[in-house]
A and B are shown apart, each in its own frame.
Chain A
């Protein structure tokens, strides 16, 4: 168990981060904080990809290498794409929150529920 923790601590930390993101998304009443939770959740997954590609003592994946082990470049390229997608999502989410705030004048979900129930 200790050995597992010593070798795989990065994964453990990332899944804790994933959990925090998810908890924020579910338990937080503030819409902006909810969106931060979503962002955190995604970031944990991106870091998971990066951690996966790490090779102990591996060199950077540059084409003429000296026969040493290299880290896999594919996950890093993938994460780059995924980050772009994540940014676009956050932007759309924030735009929607602005619209909700200008219509209902609140950022809290519980208040929003009451306001909508009244209408």
Chain B
């Protein structure tokens, strides 16, 4: 076993082991959390890049845990599709971590939850076993509940409990689906299932399993009408944690759903299954429209962006529907690019929102009035990210949408193409509202000028959202938002390159 084969296991084990360190070291030393998290995340990013270069040049890397064969052991598989998510997770995690150095939340327990979350997400991306996927989903969820609840105020505990109950039901639904599939086939390994599912004697069990899994993932990915946990959770989570949760948790679940569709159930089998494609398409399309419509009527910026996630993930689920209905490679490329692009955009936007909240205490759309004159760099980056979210070229948001729409048109699914165009206009409606406030509305009066009292009696540590002051923002925090905006544009030109990287995976899936 060469050293590259060990990387998948290391990527999962290292953050989970490191998650214990901030608390353990915290018994003796203060503020070790950030250092531990920084070392781990940098290492993870380096390992992810090394693994990615191996996967994209030499093909997939498989790690068999304990050396057991895949019939009864657990496998970790790093292939072209999963590496995209691994790179997204480690990259965004590193960016958010750099932001929390100044932006908070601080404290050793936060960094423990943060590392646990990263470990769980990497587990979801790399696992090759449907039951192991459930375990990692739950590890991720547990860390997310803790992060949501760590927001100040009791509202965050209520939001976290709501998320906990819905998230547990979703994961349990998925587990029931696994039980049905296991009953019919007798294996849990994804690659084994690929051949076992079409050969199963009782296809009705497989169909029941598929139904449960779709319901489970629809909830985890926050699709209408089971999205209700998501806006509360995103809004109440602390500003430093929302970018992480919003960019990664649902993305990893959406990735896992795609993985089930293309690897476990396989496109051909699903295409032959009655109603599978219409159901997935309907969930996606309805979520796109419901999500954008709800986003337009929000006044709180964080909440608006949360509802926008409902619609963007609806787009990805709709793309999976196109993949099933039309065996469309293009739609799968679109879904993969949109997963990565949306993750990046949402992380950048929520970081910018956190930044504005820290420096001005502005949280509603109206309070953003005149931001462009006060903070041109942040406003400019936000504008770029918002335009990318709408899907204006050249940005990564456009490339993803373009491939998905192209796939829909190729498969002659005109309603889906229409929904994508309509949602783009609705997205513009809420993005434009924010842009108009930032650039073309003057701040109301004296009220918006931050009071010049230097109340920094505790060493300028003014991170509480209400004790907002422009001094609390460091250049590093701003530059991370700028980097996110630049990456969103740069990745827009890389659409073809990503499609090329995915090509070996696609030929395997679509034969």
Interface string of B137-165 (1 = CB under 8 A from A): 01101100110010000110110110011
Q: Is the CB of A89 within 8 A of B175?
A: no
Q: Are A34 and B72 in contact (CB under 8 A)?
A: no
Which residues of B sit under 8 angstroms from A96, Cβ to Cβ? 145, 149, 157, 160-161, 164
Chain B nearest CB from A6 CB (Å) reads 19
In the assembled complex, which residues on chain B have CB atoms less than 8 Å from the CB atom of A75?
Answer: 182
B172 at the interface (CB under 8 A from A): yes
Return the CB mask of B174-185 against A: 1 if under 8 Å, else 0. 011001001100
Q: In the complex, what's the smallest C-beta–C-beta distance from A5 to chain B, in angstroms?
A: 18
Is B179's CB under 8 angstroms from A48's CB? yes
Asked if A89 and B164 sit within 8 Å, CB to CB, the answer is: yes
Task: Select one of B135, B146, B165, B182 contacting A25, CB under 8 A.
Answer: B165
A117 to chain B, nearest CB (A): 12
In contact, A92 and B146 (Cβ under 8 angstroms): yes
B146 nearest in chain A by CB position: A92
User: Closest CB of chain A to B209's CB: distance in Å?
Assistant: 12
Q: Bound complex: CA of A53 vs CA of B60, how far in Å?
A: 33
Closest to B167 in A: A89
The answer to whether A78 and B131 touch across the interface, beta carbons within 8 angstroms, is yes
User: Which residues in A have their C-beta under 8 angstroms from that of B154?
Assistant: 99-100, 103-104
Of the four ranges (under 10, 10 to 19, 20 to 34, 35 or more), the interface on chain B belongs to 20 to 34
B399 interface hit (Cβ, 8 Å): no
Main secondary structure of the interface of B (DSSP, over half): helix
Interface string of B64-81 (1 = CB under 8 A from A): 000000001000000000
Cβ contact within 8 Å between A82 and B134: yes
What residue of chain B has the Cβ atom nearest to residue A78's Cβ?
B131
Nearest Cβ distance between residue B499 and chain A, in whole angstroms? Answer: 37
Scan A61-91; emit 1 where CB is below 8 A from any B CB, else 0: 0000000000010110010011001001100
Does B335 interact with chain A (Cβ within 8 Å)?
no
- Contacting residue for A92 out of B72, B142, B172, CB 8 A: B142
The verdict on A20 contacting chain B, using a C-beta distance below 8 Å, is no
Tell me the nearest residue of chain A to B176, going by C-beta.
Answer: A45
Q: Which residues of chain A come closer than 8 Å to B139, judged between CB atoms?
A: 85
**Which residues of the other chain, B, contact A85 by a CB distance below 8 angstroms?**
134-135, 138-139
Q: Check B226 for interface membership: any CB of A closer than 8 A.
A: no
Distance of A97 Cα from B139 Cα, bound (Å) = 20
A45: contacting residue among B164, B179, B183, CB under 8 A: B179
B179 and A92 contact, CB distance less than 8 A: no
Residue A31 at the chain B interface, CB threshold 8 Å:
yes
B164 touches A52 (CB 8 A): no
In the docked arrangement, what's the CA distance between A48 and B141, Å?
A: 23
**CA separation between A35 and B168, bound complex, in Å?**
10
Whether the pair A45, B175 counts as a contact (CB closer than 8 A) is yes
Cβ contact within 8 Å between B179 and A97: no
Other than the given A74-B72, A92-B146, A99-B149, 17 more pairs (CB < 8 A) read A38-B168, A41-B168, A48-B179, A52-B182, A52-B183, A78-B188, A81-B135, A88-B138, A89-B141, A93-B165, A96-B145, A96-B149, A96-B161, A96-B164, A100-B157, A100-B158, A104-B154
Measuring CB to CB, which residues of chain B are less than 8 angstroms from any residue of chain A? 72, 131, 134-135, 138-139, 141-142, 145-146, 149, 154-155, 157-158, 160-161, 164-165, 168-169, 172, 175-176, 179, 182-183, 186, 188
A-B pairs with the 8 shortest C-beta distances? A103-B154, A99-B157, A85-B138, A96-B161, A100-B157, A96-B157, A93-B164, A38-B168
A and B contact pairs by CB, cutoff 8 A, 27 listed? A25-B165, A38-B169, A41-B172, A45-B175, A48-B176, A48-B179, A49-B182, A52-B179, A52-B183, A74-B182, A74-B188, A75-B182, A78-B188, A81-B131, A82-B175, A89-B138, A89-B142, A92-B142, A92-B145, A93-B161, A96-B145, A96-B157, A96-B161, A96-B164, A100-B158, A103-B157, A116-B158
